[in-house]
Amino acid sequence: MEPERTSRWRAEGAVLGEPARGRGPVWSRARTAPVVVAHPLFRPAPRSAMVFPLVVLVAVLPGLAALNAWDLTPPGPLWGLRGLAVLDGMVLDQMPAAETIKPLQESAAYRAVAFQPPLYAWLEAALFGLGSDRDPLASVLPSYMAGALAVVLVYLHGQLWRGAGLALTAAILVGFNQNLLLRMQEATPSTLALCGVLAVLLAYGWHERVLIESLRPWPWAGPAVWAIFGGLALGLALLAQSGTAVIAIPIVLLHQDYLRTAFGGSAARRRWWWLAWRDNPGRVNGLLALVLALGLVLPWFVLMVHTHGWEAIAAWSVPPEQLLVDRPVGLAARLIELAPVTLPLGLFGAVRAIRLALVDESNSREALGSSFWVIWLAVAGLAPAAWPGGPQGAFDLLVLVPLSLLAAQTIADLVNRRVPVRTLTWLAPATALSVAWWASANLRDAVDDLLHGRADSATALGVHLALDLILVSVWLVRALDRWARRHDDRQRRVLGAFLLVVLALTAVDGIREVVFRHTVTHDLLWLRTMILRRNRDHPFEIVAVVSPSGPKAGPARPGASTSPLAEGPSPGGRLRFILRTALPHLPQRDLKDIDELLHLPDGQRLVILAGTDQRLSYAEQSQLGLEAIHPGRSGILDAYATAQGRPLRGRAGSVP
């Protein structure tokens, strides 16, 4: 009986988990043979660890594909010139590089960029230095990398307050958003500032969870550690874009006021302020974060004020985004432009979050997180009203993140059936109307004409089609509601179809931007390729750009070009940036007329016509000893180089 009892004990021990109690082998009562317990090689991974690789793909792949369509949109080339100036030795102050730019309009635009904080220019210089040919793409890579990191930070925000499922949905909504992909294609610090603000708010969220729940993801990550991390992130964000990161301060203060209301406070703390400081470590840690941020930022700001005076302070208050395409200024228009597909879901999530904050007496993590997102959305949405001349691109991205988090919260509640499917009877028509308003310029024009009393037959037709769309959407959704009522399987089909359509439209909206359609950037990059080929065989000694000094007065001539470069390299500095990357050691000579080419000294010359609305005839090319190396469009980006094997001849009476 002993062997039988021993084997049964071993089996019971294995089933009940007895071997896990000790490190060594487990012996039977008969002291016969050891039972070797097989421990797994790896511990089971948590759900968040399994989702995180998908988040990395969402962060990297759309932006990586969008890099194929990167654009030299102003003021991106001016930021590239600033990065090249850092590479040339002007690390702290890049303003002296403006002295080499002769056109007044272009020089003023560069000065506006050179007064901005230098973090983006430092990153550009580091990437330019890694390559041997100063590829212009390096000027966009910091924006792309910051955008990808911002998507990961959005996931961490969602995971902090609600879990991995909602966080993944929010990362998808942000990662495939067209506005984020547009910013990732341009050499501007908008995504870098967004990344800094997200890091500050993430550090604040972990700080509050450590204080409230005593939750520490790592043993060393106490409240003071998160305060230090937040202070460093705030300082870097201020070095990325002046003033944008300050938006995190009112968000934190308003959420702190909400927490004081939710958790209450003692009479002693309200009466004796020093007791409040001693008993509330959050205030001390907040002061520590501000001190670290100011210590990181103030040296550069003081240097610029000491060198350039109050002109630097005036430039910080007006970022050089007036060179970009104008964005909608109204809050409703901005929200529809940012997230046309998920806007109704986000607003519905905001309303539910406010209701939950009012009725939830337990102060759950869900209520605290959703209220934080609502406060974030409100402050970011009202920021342009407080700072009309501020960076609109960064403000839009700061609105996009909480709106996507709230939309992901609505999607998670629909999936978990915490929100009834009948809610789709108005969510689906609202989504259809938002998408129609965003996609149809005729509908927007018709409503604008109707509001301003300019109605005509086209206006009536547009409004009629919009009403038809609303009525058809309402009828279809109500019909589906009657069909799926009291049938759980049908409700799940309707809900799944709606959510798939939402995610598909969001992805399609973002994927459209990865198609290259920037013809000016294509022409400039091809011009750079031709210059490098010619310079490799016959190095240039002189670089001359013929362009008008400013916009021409009077009516345009018939057949004149309407290209963005028709007024020369300004306002964006595209051509100057391309020439600096191709020929970094040759200064550019800015000429106003073709006749000034006669006064150039002999040597290997590179001549580019930028916006002259005329071309060199074959006779003029022969007289100047030039030959075409890059055909432009009607005098725009026409490039000529010294002809090989031909004597250099000047016009009669001219100085060669």
CA gap 249, 376 in Å, rounded: 10
CA gap 335, 399 in Å, rounded: 8
What pLDDT sits at residue 34? 57
Q: Residue 126 pLDDT more than 60?
A: yes
Residue for token pair 């908008």: 190
pLDDT in tens, 128-151: 988 778 889 999 999 999 999 999
Task: State the DSSP H helix or E strand holding residue 274, giving kind and residue range, or none if neither.
Answer: helix 273-279
Return the higher-pLDDT residue of 300 and 562.
300
Per-residue pLDDT band for 226 (boundaries 50, 70, 90) equals: confident
Distance of CA 116 to the CA centre of its chain: 18
Q: What dihedral do alpha carbons 529, 142, 188, 319 form, nearest 10°?
A: -140
What pLDDT sits at residue 148? 93
What pLDDT sits at residue 393? 84
CA gap 578, 526 in Å, rounded: 10
**Span 230-241, average pLDDT:** 92
CA gap 396, 394 in Å, rounded: 5
Q: Residue 194 pLDDT more than 90?
A: yes
Return the higher-pLDDT residue of 88 and 487.
88
Share of the chain above pLDDT 70, in %: 74
Per-residue pLDDT band for 639 (boundaries 50, 70, 90) equals: confident
What pLDDT sits at residue 438? 80
Per-residue pLDDT band for 437 (boundaries 50, 70, 90) equals: confident
Per-residue pLDDT band for 257 (boundaries 50, 70, 90) equals: confident
Burial of 284-303, coded b for 16+ CB within 10 Å and e otherwise, reads ebbebbbebbeebbeebbee
Per-residue pLDDT band for 124 (boundaries 50, 70, 90) equals: very high
* DSSP classification of residue 650: -
**Span 456-463, average pLDDT:** 66
Task: State the DSSP H helix or E strand holding residue 544, giving kind and residue range, or none if neither.
Answer: strand 542-546
Sign of CA pseudo-dihedral 170, 172, 177, 183: positive
What pLDDT sits at residue 46? 62
Share of the chain above pLDDT 90, in %: 22
Task: Give the C-alpha distances (Å, rounded to integers) separating 323 from 73, 79, 103, 391, 570.
Answer: 9, 12, 16, 11, 10
CA angle 430, 434, 437 (to 5 degrees): 135
Q: Residue 18 pLDDT more than 90?
A: no
Residue for token pair 């097989």: 38
Q: Closest by alpha carbon to 530, among 578, 574, 567?
A: 578
Per-residue pLDDT band for 37 (boundaries 50, 70, 90) equals: low
| Cβ–Cβ under 8 Å, residues 583 and 535 | yes
Task: Give the C-alpha distances (Å, rounded to integers) separating 228 from 88, 286, 289, 293, 444.
Answer: 34, 9, 6, 9, 48
Domain ranges of the chain: 1-39, 144-419+486-511, 519-642
| Cβ–Cβ under 8 Å, residues 546 and 607 | yes
| Cβ–Cβ under 8 Å, residues 103 and 548 | no
Region of 523 please: left (phi>0), alpha (psi -120 to 50) or beta: alpha
Q: Residue 11 pLDDT more than 50?
A: no
Residue for token pair 């062997």: 3
SS3 641: strand
Mean pLDDT of the chain: 78
Residue for token pair 């896990």: 20
**Span 583-605, average pLDDT:** 84
What pLDDT sits at residue 155? 95
Task: Give the C-alpha distances (Å, rounded to integers) separating 529 from 136, 510, 532, 583, 629.
Answer: 11, 30, 5, 11, 11
CA angle 313, 318, 321 (to 5 degrees): 140
Per-residue pLDDT band for 270 (boundaries 50, 70, 90) equals: very low
| Cβ–Cβ under 8 Å, residues 244 and 237 | yes
**Span 406-430, average pLDDT:** 85
Q: Closest by alpha carbon to 168, among 446, 367, 415, 358?
A: 415
What pLDDT sits at residue 204? 92
Per-residue pLDDT band for 154 (boundaries 50, 70, 90) equals: very high
Residue for token pair 């021990």: 13
From the CA atom positions of the chain, what is the Rg in Å? 31
Greatest mean pLDDT among 72-86, 304-318, 566-580, 586-600 lies in 72-86
What pLDDT sits at residue 504? 87
* DSSP classification of residue 145: H
Q: Residue 236 pLDDT more than 50?
A: yes
**Span 618-640, average pLDDT:** 79
Least confident range from 99-103, 343-347, 426-430, 441-445: namely 441-445
What pLDDT sits at residue 374? 94
CA gap 92, 109 in Å, rounded: 19
Q: Residue 52 pLDDT more than 90?
A: no
SS3 608: strand
What is the Cβ-side half-sphere exposure of residue 479, based on CA atoms within 13 angstroms? 6
| Cβ–Cβ under 8 Å, residues 119 and 156 | no
Q: Residue 20 pLDDT more than 60?
A: no
Least confident range from 102-106, 413-417, 440-444: namely 440-444
Q: Residue 56 pLDDT more than 60?
A: yes
Sign of CA pseudo-dihedral 184, 187, 189, 190: negative
What pLDDT sits at residue 86? 92
Greatest mean pLDDT among 39-43, 341-345, 483-487, 544-548 lies in 341-345
pLDDT in tens, 361-393: 777 888 888 999 999 999 999 988 888 777 888
**Span 260-289, average pLDDT:** 60
- List, in sequence order, every residue forming a beta bridge with 590; answer none if it has no partner: 545
